[in-house]
């Protein structure tokens, strides 16, 4: 049996697939930090790509908490002739987000990554929520041993 894949390796294994990638985990397990690190890694490996990162907790993005506005913002930021990746952090803050995400996914042309509240996303059936396929990366906080070796 090989060593377990890191969370970053799991995301890279899903990169470029048709699936909607969903990072889940308990509160304060660094879902947002993982997505930021992955987004930065993607930008370094593929600097010509169009990487759109939206943090819905940021007050500058408050208008995007309405799913029609979120949808139109994403469509406007799509660039033809390049690889488009969409990263949305704390997606559950946008009521009806699944309508926007499913529509974007059905249009094609985006590699989609989401994080959201574990309590919210796990209370829903992700397969039902997203009409297409999805890949889930479930993360856990550091164990005590991991914490000690890190710090």
Tell me the domains of the chain and their CATH numbers.
7-150 (3.40.50.300)
User: What rounded mean pLDDT belongs to the chain?
Assistant: 83
What is the reported pLDDT for 145?
A: 63
Is residue 64 predicted with pLDDT exceeding 90? Answer: yes
Rounded-to-integer distance, Cα 62 and Cα 73, Å: 12
Give the integer Cα–Cα distance in Å for 49 and 89.
19
Residue 97 has pLDDT above 50, yes or no: yes
What is residue 1's predicted lDDT score, i.e. its pLDDT?
Answer: 44
pLDDT of 46 strictly over 80: yes
**Quick one: pLDDT at residue 131?**
55
Polymer length in residues for the chain: 151
* Residue 57 confidence (pLDDT): 94
């Amino acid at each position: 049996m090989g060593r377990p894949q890191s969370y970053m390796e799991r995301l890279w294994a899903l990169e470029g697939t048709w699936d909607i990638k969903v990072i889940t985990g308990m509160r304060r397990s660094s879902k947002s930090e993982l997505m930021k690190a992955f987004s930065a890694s993607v930008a370094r490996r593929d600097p010509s790509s169009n990487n759109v990162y939206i943090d819905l907790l940021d007050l500058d993005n408050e208008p995007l908490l309405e799913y029609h506005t979120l949808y139109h913002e994403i469509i406007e930021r799509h660039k033809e002739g390049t690889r488009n990746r969409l990263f949305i952090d704390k997606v559950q803050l946008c009521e009806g987000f699944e309508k926007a995400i499913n529509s974007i996914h059905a249009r094609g042309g985006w590699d989609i990554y989401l994080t959201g509240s574990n309590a919210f996303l796990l209370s829903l059936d992700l397969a039902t929520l997203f009409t297409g396929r999805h890949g889930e990366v479930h993360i856990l906080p550091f164990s005590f041993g991991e914490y000690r070796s890190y710090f």
